[in-house]
Structure 1
Amino acid sequence: MDVLNYLERTRVSIKETALVFNIPSDSTVWKWRELFEAGGLDALQPKAKGRPSMKKKESKNQPIPGSVEALQAENELLRAENAYLKKLQ
């Protein structure tokens, strides 16, 4: 914002503004000005980089531990495990 305020206040060129603030490329200042004019201060906020997290999403349909549905689901899982182990023998 300091760079853009200086640019507006002094009415100097983008190239001169980049020199005053030691910004290597004057296109950076130009880009900031275009973003600010198009989207305001929020457009100048940095964007998140990289890929989104691969965390497993919790399903909302999981039964509450200790409830009848949870016990029945656990019982079915154990029966399937026992049947599998019997087939291995």
Structure 2
Amino acid sequence: MSKYTKQFKLGVVKRYLNKSTSFNAIGQHYCINGSIVRRWVKRYEHYGAEGLGKKFSHYNLEFRLSVLQHMWDQQLSYAETALVFDIRSPGCLGVWERSYHSGGIDALTPRTRGRPKNMSAPPTPKAPHAKEDESRSHEELLAEVAYLRMENAYLKKLKALVQQQAQTTPRNKRK
């Protein structure tokens, strides 16, 4: 939902056209920025009342490239270019231009929106020693498990002894 309705925008534009006041004065009356009023008036002068309505459009690679080329050839600003091509958000032109300069034509291709249709299953992680374990005998694996259990018990005992020793040692008090 847009912040301002088409009727509101049309009312602001008509008020500007009927009175001989500035964009900023009209903007202050409606508590909006004067540059927004200027943009609405330009759109109204160029496209009529339809230029103030919503426009949902997705721009393909060829259109984006032609817009940028026209902007560079005619040395137009983002706002002027957006007005010529009826692009409602002039800020996207800066994004397109930066993308083109950083990544070339491939960076201008529109991205697909939404979730991918077929989610691929994530690859199952294999243990680092999985191939070694498959080639070893059952007895060797049992011996390794017993060794690891013994090592784990030893480390637990060591940790308990360190904690017990830390509790029994008196700490120096500061004076």
Q: TM-score range by the shorter chain?
A: 0.5 to 0.7
Query: RMSD of the TM alignment (CA)?
Result: 1.9
Which structure carries more relative contact order (alpha carbon 8 Å, separation 6+)? 1
Matched, 1:5 2:69: yes
Give the length in aligned residue pairs: 57
Aligned to 1:75: none
TM-score by length of 1: 0.56
Matches of 1:56 and 1:11 in 2, distance apart?
Answer: 49
| 4+ runs deviating over 6 angstroms | none
Aligned to 1:27: 91
CA shift for structure 1 position 56:
6.4
Q: Which runs of 5+ in 2 are unaligned?
A: 1-64, 123-175
Matches of 1:55 and 1:42 in 2, distance apart?
Answer: 25
Aligned to 2:119: 54
- Larger CA Rg, structure 1 vs 2: 2
Matches of 2:120 and 2:78 in 1, distance apart?
Answer: 44
Q: Which runs of 5+ in 1 are unaligned?
A: 58-89
TM-score by length of 2: 0.30
